[in-house]
Amino acid sequence: MKITLFSIVFLIGLCFFSCTKNSTSKKVGITKIKFKHEGNLNILDSTKTTIKKLQIEIADNDFERQTGLMYRKQMDNNKAMLFIFNDDDVRVRSFYMKNTYIPLDIIFIDENKTIINIAKHTKPLDENSVFSDAPAKYVLEINAGLSDFWRVKAGNHINFTSL
C-alpha cells in the first residue's frame, strides 16, 4: 500500500511541475508581406503608346504563382503582380480570389503580350474562378477599377523588364 500511495503522489507531483508555464515561451506574430519590386511593366494602347507604367512583382515559379497576392491587405496603384507561365504551358487560365483581400482587375495576356480579356472587380475571398477567353502566357493583377480608369482593354499590349 505504501508503494502505491507513493507512486500516486509522485505522478501528481510530476504532472504539476511539468504543466507549469515555461518562462521562455515565444509569441507568434503575423508578418506583413511586402511588395518586391522585381521589374517594370508598360501597358500600351493599339498604337504602342504607353498608357501606364507600373512596378511589378513577378510570379514565375509554382509557389509564387499559387500564392500570388494572397494574404495582402493593400497594394499601391502604381504596383502590380505579373504571373509568367512557361512556354510549354500556354493555355486557358483560371484564377480565383481565395485568401486574397484586395479587390482586383485580372488581366489575361497571350504569348504575344496582347491583352485577351479582363476580369474586372473580382471579389475578395471568392473561390469562384474567372477565366481567360483564350490561351494565356501572362496574367497581370492590378487594383480593381484601374483598368477602366486607365482605359485598358482587350487588344492593348504590355512590355516588361526584370530588374
Q: What CATH number does residue 79 fall under?
A: 2.60.120.1140
Q: Which neighbouring-strand residues pair with 157?
A: 44, 114
Question: Is 144 part of any domain?
Answer: yes
User: What is residue 4's predicted lDDT score, i.e. its pLDDT?
Assistant: 55
Question: Is 101 part of any domain?
Answer: yes
CB distance 120 to 148 below 8 Å: yes
Question: How many domains does one find in the chain?
Answer: 1
Question: Is 105 part of any domain?
Answer: yes
- Region 55-75: mean pLDDT is 97
Question: Is 29 part of any domain?
Answer: no
Question: Is 6 part of any domain?
Answer: no
What is the identity of the amino acid at 48? K
User: What is residue 21's predicted lDDT score, i.e. its pLDDT?
Assistant: 54
Average model confidence (pLDDT) across the chain = 89
Q: What SS3 state is found at 115?
A: strand
Question: Is 27 part of any domain?
Answer: no
User: What would the pLDDT profile of 83-114 be if each residue is shown by its tens digit?
Assistant: 999 999 999 999 999 999 999 999 999 999 99
- Model confidence at 53, pLDDT cuts 50, 70, 90, reads very high
pTM of the complete model? 0.81
Q: Which three cell numbers stand for residue 146?
A: 484601374
Domain that holds residue 67: 34-162
Q: What SS3 state is found at 96?
A: coil
In sequence order, what are the residues at sequence separation of 6 or more whose Cβ sits closer than 8 angstroms to the Cβ of residue 117?
Answer: 108, 132, 133, 134, 154
Question: Is 23 part of any domain?
Answer: no
